[in-house]
Structure 1
Amino acid sequence: MAANSFAAFLIIGPTCFFLGILFSSFPYDYNVLWKTPEDREFYFKILEDHIKFLHASPPIISRILHIAIGTGLLGFLMKLYKASEANMLFDGASLVLYMAGITVYVTNIVKGFRVVTAGIYGNVTPEQDKNAEDYITREDTLRVFAASNTILALVLVGVLVLQAGQWYALRKEEAELKEIEDKAEEKKKQGKKKQ
């Protein structure tokens, strides 16, 4: 049980860490996603500057982030090693969500950092790049980046909900088993009194 609790800590810690990072980006994302089109241009510039600043941060920042991702995966491996049926259901679903989050991070967020920093948007002509049709506009790129952050936050909240659900289910099961044992003990005592 102690190893299972430590493994849960290894999952919950990095998940909360990522949610904190995403929460700090939410003011940028909110304005890009939900402001009126007339107001968005101002917020596009702010988000673009923010992304460029984050992408230019020292390598230790991304290494810490990747260590945290690995720590979460280690927690899942520890919990799923010789797992019970409850672990397979809750932790399996949590792992699927966690991997979906990693996929969103790698495919949309990391790619968004590179595209925004390079300034390669949909205004590229086929003469400049033979893959010009693969690029999307500046507005779409920034909105996809902001939406990816929001989706990632929802996925990570799902991981936390599943971990909390597993904790609740285990505590409920323990309480029911204790109640059954107490009733069995009470019956034994009553049987001895009758003899």
Structure 2
Amino acid sequence: MPPKGTAPFATFLIIGPVCFFLGVLFALFPYDYHVLWTTPSATPPTLSLNGDPTHADPRMTYFALQENHLKFLHASPPLISRILHIVIGTGLLGFMLKLYKPSEANMLFDGASLVLYMCGITVYIANIVKGLRTVTAGAYGGNALPAGETMHEKIVEGNEGEFIGREDSLRVLAASNTICALVLVGVLVLQAGQWYAQRKETEEMEQMDKVRDEKRATAKAQGSSGGSKKKQ
């Protein structure tokens, strides 16, 4: 029997979408791995048109694979994005059910889980959706920063896209996927922590009730024996 206050159905509405999104991100991981964390072995030099040897960047192949895959995803039928948004809404519905008349445990674990979940949605809207549109349109920047100016100033001005090239844009998308995965794992950890804490609390309450009932039974038995001795 589940511990009191765990709301198994609402928890299922949260864990189901989280695992679904982790599966989607895992499918993207092979494309992000070489772009972010590893440098493949250098390719042998090839001859250019004028006969001079050129050294191709070994990562260019993986950038091209990731770019083509992202274009294919963005060109998917509207049904795919609708299903994705329905799953996002299902997770939010689960949080609303668990936070309706919340207990202290709900406020701690589910409140923190909701914050992480909303962080993941924010990264999805601000970085991933915008990045998919940029990749599909090929609207990369790549201009050099003027002397004395920094990327932070361009971000404040809102025109940093003019200075972020193709490779950096694809790295940002890969990093956004990693951030979303870490956030969703955090949601699972908090939900598991809530279940464990409430389970331990239930066991302790049952143990206390058992000890109390034993004391009452002992006191009642002692009272009965004392009354029978007085009658004798």
2:64 is paired with a residue of what secondary structure? helix
Q: How many matched pairs?
A: 190
Which residue, out of 186, 189, 192, partners 2:214?
Answer: 186
Unaligned runs of 5+ in 1: 126-130
Aligned to 1:35: 38
Runs of 4+ in 1 over 6 A off after TM superposition: none
How far residue 36 of structure 1 moved from its aligned partner, in angstroms, is 1.9
Counterpart pick for 2:21 among 14, 18, 22? 18
**1:100 maps onto 2:119 in alignment:** yes
* Structure 2: unaligned runs, 5 residues or longer: 41-56, 145-157, 224-232
Check whether the contact 2:143–2:165 (CA below 8 A) recurs between aligned residues.
Answer: no
- Deviation track 1:132-181 (CA, whole Å, cap 9, x = no partner) reads 65331000000000000001000000000000000011101000000000
The Cα RMSD (Å) is: 1.7
* Aligned AA (2:17): P
Q: How far is 1:70 from its partner?
A: 0.3
Match of 2:138 among 119, 139, 156: 119
Partners of 1:34 and 1:86 lie apart in 2 by: 38
Distance 2:58 2:142 in 1: 22
Change (3 A) 1:84 1:132: closer
Conserved in 1, the CA contact under 8 Å of 2:120 and 2:183?
yes
1:134 equivalent among 152, 161, 167 = 161
Q: Distance in 1 between matches of 2:37 and 2:16?
A: 30
What residue is the counterpart of 1:7 in the other structure? Answer: 10
More helix as a share of residues: 1
Q: Which amino acid in the other structure matches residue 102 of structure 1? A: I
Alignment partner of 1:87 is 2:106: yes
Aligned in 2, Cα 1:99/1:133: closer, same or farther, shift over 3 Å?
Answer: closer
1:70 aligns with 2:89: yes
Q: Which residue in 1 is equivalent to 2:72?
A: 53
Hey, what does 2:51 align to over in structure 1?
none
Which protein is bigger by CA-based radius of gyration?
2
* Aligned amino acid, residue 95 of structure 2: F
Letter in 1 for 2:36: L
* Aligned-pair CA distance for 1:39: 2.4
More off after superposition, 51-60 vs 29-38:
29-38
